Structure 1
């Protein structure tokens, strides 16, 4: 909810802001939208549009500051040079991810076997079924494929999901040069302390 202290928001402001919010939330794909419509984007004069864009930007910043990054993308698209891409290439898994302050983002196009020969964690299978029904992943032969970037709260949660069992994500996620996430983060911290 956005409120104007000067009571100068019109119906055009409201419709434009609603439409813009739905559009940005869909682009970010952080959450499943339950809206029945896409909002109405009325003809908006350029000065009014600029006001609405600024209001939305401030609202987005405030929401993110309060811990609700509704309109923030999971990663930079494409990943910037400051974002280190990690790979999990174990047991026929071919996945790429980026570690952020929110967790591990498994990138679109990552694949993993649908079933494994090892003991399967029932909870991971349930999560897979849920993500299949939401369209986050799809089946391609005997593998799952990520159809979009997806955030897991922990690196181990991400690698466990891919491997369908327990996993130490701090060890299983590595740079292309073979440096584990644990080692990489340790090096980054030691450089920051200097």
Structure 2
């Protein structure tokens, strides 16, 4: 059995401000990530690593939707200076290089192609890139090095507020048909470590099921959600609902949407909001099946059980 191993990440806030420039590095990784708001791009591009070969991300919004661009260059500062003039929508830049300028042109072309393919596969943020570049021809050893580089990079990027490469869809564990949303089980399972939860809003014909797996709250494929966002347009979950439709996780079916894949949410409330199309308290709207106990009741029972094992 493979044991999960922790990683040590170092963040350095260059000017001491949490919203300013920062660098990120992993222990025993040659990669280096520099995140800079556009307001500090001149200072960022004056740094030594900005003249290295690497890939970069431009991140922002256009017409109210998130947007990003993935690029590469042998001197990424020169490339970003050209985009600073021609692209007006981006608000921050992420520069990805390696210590001692160890990446070459073929390496960064490979990384660019892989990042573009991954971002489009996940579909969370539309790209401003017009093409899908082909992978650069690398030796078998270099491909392995670049894939290892990417594996570490995908750990670092969320730490610098870039979540466009987080894949929240999960392998489907049951058929996506409404008939099996509520499997047969016993009341004794209601307070088990991993019960199935159900959310049902009969007024709008909504019915969804979810499970806790590896610490994630996962709404299962086949669940029926509201077809449009009915809550405040400025609410954070409005963007989440739109993202799920844009990425194809929610597929329109008349007035409703159906989850096409299992999807991992940050919390029961985020999942409830996605199903109901409005802000919702997932602590009370999700209920165990069977038993009908709220998620809050189930959680409190588990906490009490956990407390008892240490007394």
Q: Report if TM-score (shorter chain) is over 0.5.
A: yes
Structure 1 unmatched runs, 5+: none
Report what 2:246 is aligned to. Answer: 134
Note if contact 1:99-1:155 (Cα within 8 Å) is conserved in structure 2.
no
Name the larger-Rg structure. 2
Task: With a CA cutoff of 8 Å and minimum separation of 6, indicate the structure with the bigger relative contact order.
Answer: 1
Partner in structure 1 of residue 34 of structure 2: none
1:20 maps to which of 114, 118, 134 = 114
Structure 1 equivalent of residue 288 of structure 2: 175
Matched-pair contact (CA < 8 Å) for 1:102–1:153: no
Instruction: Name the counterpart of 1:188.
Output: 302
**Residue 257 of structure 2: which of 134, 144, 147 is its match?**
144
Q: Which moved more, 1:24-33 or 1:8-17?
A: 24-33
1:116-127 matches, cutoff 5 A: 121=231, 123=233
Query: Which residue of 123, 129, 140 maps to 1:35?
Result: 129
- Compute the displacement of 1:76 (Å): 4.2
Q: Which has the higher strand share?
A: 2
Superposed displacement of residue 5, structure 1? 1.1
Structure 2, unaligned runs of 5 or more:
1-94, 174-192
Aligned residues: 187
Match of 1:6, SS state, is helix
Once the two structures are TM-superposed, the CA of residue 183 in structure 1 deviates from its matched residue by 2.2
| Distance of aligned partners of 1:190 and 1:76 in 2 relative to their CA distance in 1, 3 Å threshold | farther
Equivalent position SS for 1:72: coil
TM-score scaled by length of structure 1: 0.70
Cα gap change, 1:42 to 1:85, in 2 (>3 Å): farther
Residues 37 and 48 (structure 1), Cα distance of their counterparts in 2 relative to 1, 3 Å cut: same
Tell whether 2:154 aligns with 1:60.
yes
> Against the structure 1 CA distance between its residues 132 and 76, is the aligned structure 2 distance closer, same or farther, given a 3 Å change threshold?
closer
| CA displacement at 1:191 relative to structure 2 | 4.1
TM-score, length basis structure 2: 0.48
Alpha-carbon RMSD? 3.8
